[in-house]
């Protein structure tokens, strides 16, 4: 009989965590493991239809901000859709409460999964927030049978600086599906979709429009690039509640005609290989950005903020980190200089490096399968 696993995530929209979970769902042995998804939104997610087509369920558990009502919903879901052998939670600190509920409901294996490093932001939090964080970390330590993290900094953020001394806490790099990066791309056609001239210089970014992605600073960098390179464009892939603000700022800066808001896309590898020249990620914080791995698989030079873990660096010539304390014009200089990097590397060579690394989804599926199949599971 297949082991039944319930993944807990905010919603199954296109994002780093969700896309990785879809890779797992598509590649895992469904005869050995059945996967369902518990989400905190009543709105349909971008991946919901595919999830259902693959034989899994998307189950809404609402009101996470109202603990008692959430607990009732959670227990009801486990009764109606379970029993589950494993609850695997991806909602960072709130995982503590979820795993406590799962243990009380008799779920034998409870996994807390850290996908981000929120320590820099949380250090500025008020005492109410700090109390909540301490309580959730204590619940994770008590109720998680295993903890997984996408990077060293993500593990330290949720499981403590000494996580390496406790075998309960493990490192599991999230991988990507390399298949789309093997396809032949007609760059002229890809750019034509967005009315980008064939010889224009295009800066790319993939990420939700939220504060941590630092789109405002990205606009400042782009403004400096345009001063030096009049044929520059900025291609932004993603959605989010801050998008209207960023669009308004782009208009105020006189940049709107050179910025493409492409929305949520299912063909990010194609856009990376066919439309982008350089990838820029000035995030305020990250666990380990999978878009950085995808950009390298696409052969793109990367300019990233120095708060991003160096674990994402698999192809050294493509990779450059700059402090967020540095001005936008310095970032612009680095972005323009990165154009020369691609002359010395082919996308095929870059892909070969990634295919033989721990960031290949085949490696991640194998590692997660071993965790799920372990005797204590």
Cβ-Cβ contacts under 8 Å for 98 (sequence gap 6 or more): 8, 74, 87, 89, 91
At residue 177, what are phi and psi to the nearest 5 degrees? -80, 120
CA dihedral sign of residues 261, 22, 360, 98: positive
In this structure, are residues 14 and 95 in contact, taking their beta carbons and an 8 Å threshold? no
- The pTM score is 0.93
> Among candidates 198, 154, 7, which has minimal Cα distance to 89?
7
| H or E element that contains 366 | helix 361-373
Cβ-Cβ contacts under 8 Å for 320 (sequence gap 6 or more): 301, 302, 303, 304, 334, 338
* Exposure letters 263-286 (e unless 16+ CB within 10 A, then b): eeeeebbbbbbbbbbbbbbbbbbb
- Quote the CA–CA distance of 165 and 173 in Å, as a whole number: 19
Per-residue pLDDT of the chain (377 residues; tens, 9 = 90+): 899 999 999 999 999 999 999 999 999 999 999 999 999 999 999 999 999 999 999 999 999 999 999 999 999 999 999 999 999 999 999 999 999 999 999 999 999 999 999 887 788 889 999 999 999 999 999 999 999 999 999 999 999 999 999 999 999 999 999 999 999 999 999 999 999 999 999 999 999 999 999 999 999 999 999 999 999 999 999 999 999 999 999 999 999 999 999 999 999 999 999 999 999 999 999 999 999 999 999 999 999 999 999 999 999 999 999 999 999 999 999 999 998 887 778 999 999 999 999 999 999 999 999 999 985 54
- Quote the CA–CA distance of 92 and 171 in Å, as a whole number: 15
- pLDDT, position 345: 87
- pLDDT, position 179: 96
> Among candidates 20, 75, 50, which has minimal Cα distance to 363?
20
> Among candidates 133, 141, 94, 134, which has minimal Cα distance to 115?
94
| Tokens coding 77 | 């879901």
| Tokens coding 334 | 């680095």
Cβ-Cβ contacts under 8 Å for 210 (sequence gap 6 or more): 240, 241, 242
- Quote the CA–CA distance of 51 and 41 in Å, as a whole number: 16
All structural domains of the chain, each given as residue ranges with its CATH number in brackets, are 3-175+360-373 (3.40.50.2000), 179-355 (3.40.50.2000)
| Tokens coding 30 | 């469904």
- pLDDT, position 375: 54
- pLDDT, position 216: 98
- pLDDT, position 298: 97
DSSP reduced 3-state for 181 = helix
Find residue 324's DSSP bridge partners: none
Number of residues written out for the chain: 377
């Amino acid at each position: 009989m297949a082991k039944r696993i319930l993944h807990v995530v905010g919603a199954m929209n296109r994002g780093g965590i969700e896309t990785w979970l879809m890779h797992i769902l598509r590649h895992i042995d469904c005869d050995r493991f059945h996967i369902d998804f518990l989400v905190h939104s009543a709105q349909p997610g971008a991946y919901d239809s595919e999830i259902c087509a693959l034989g899994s369920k998307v189950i809404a558990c609402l009101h996470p901000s109202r603990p008692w009502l959430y607990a009732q919903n959670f227990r009801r879901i486990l009764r109606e859709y379970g029993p589950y052998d494993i609850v695997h939670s991806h909602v960072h600190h709130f995982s503590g409460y979820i795993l406590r509920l799962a243990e009380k409901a008799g779920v034998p294996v409870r996994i807390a999964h850290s996908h981000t490093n929120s320590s820099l932001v949380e250090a500025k939090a008020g005492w109410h927030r700090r109390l909540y964080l301490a309580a959730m970390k204590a619940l994770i330590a008590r109720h998680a049978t295993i903890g997984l993290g996408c990077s060293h900094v993500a593990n330290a953020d949720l499981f403590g600086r000494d996580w390496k001394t406790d075998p309960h806490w493990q490192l599991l790099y999230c991988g990507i599906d390399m298949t789309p990066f093997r396809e032949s791309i007609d760059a002229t056609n890809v750019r034509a979709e967005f009315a980008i001239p064939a010889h224009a210089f295009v800066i790319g970014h993939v990420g939700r429009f939220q504060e941590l992605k630092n789109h405002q600073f990205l606009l400042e960098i782009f403004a400096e690039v345009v001063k030096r390179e009049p044929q520059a464009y900025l291609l932004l892939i993603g959605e989010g509640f801050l998008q209207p603000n960023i669009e308004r700022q782009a208009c105020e800066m006189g940049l709107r005609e050179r910025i493409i808001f492409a929305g949520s896309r299912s063909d990010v590898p194609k856009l990376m290989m066919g439309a982008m020249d350089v990838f820029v990620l000035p995030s305020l914080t990250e666990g380990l950005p999978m878009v950085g791995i995808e950009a390298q698989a696409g052969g793109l030079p990367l300019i990233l903020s120095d708060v991003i873990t160096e674990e994402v660096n698999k192809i050294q010539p493509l990779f450059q980190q700059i402090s967020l304390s540095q001005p936008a014009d310095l970032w612009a200089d680095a972005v323009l200089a990165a154009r020369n990097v691609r002359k010395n590397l082919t996308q095929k060579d870059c892909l070969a490096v990634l295919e033989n690394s721990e960031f290949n989804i085949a490696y991640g599926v194998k590692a997660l399968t071993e965790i799920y199949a372990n005797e204590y599971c």
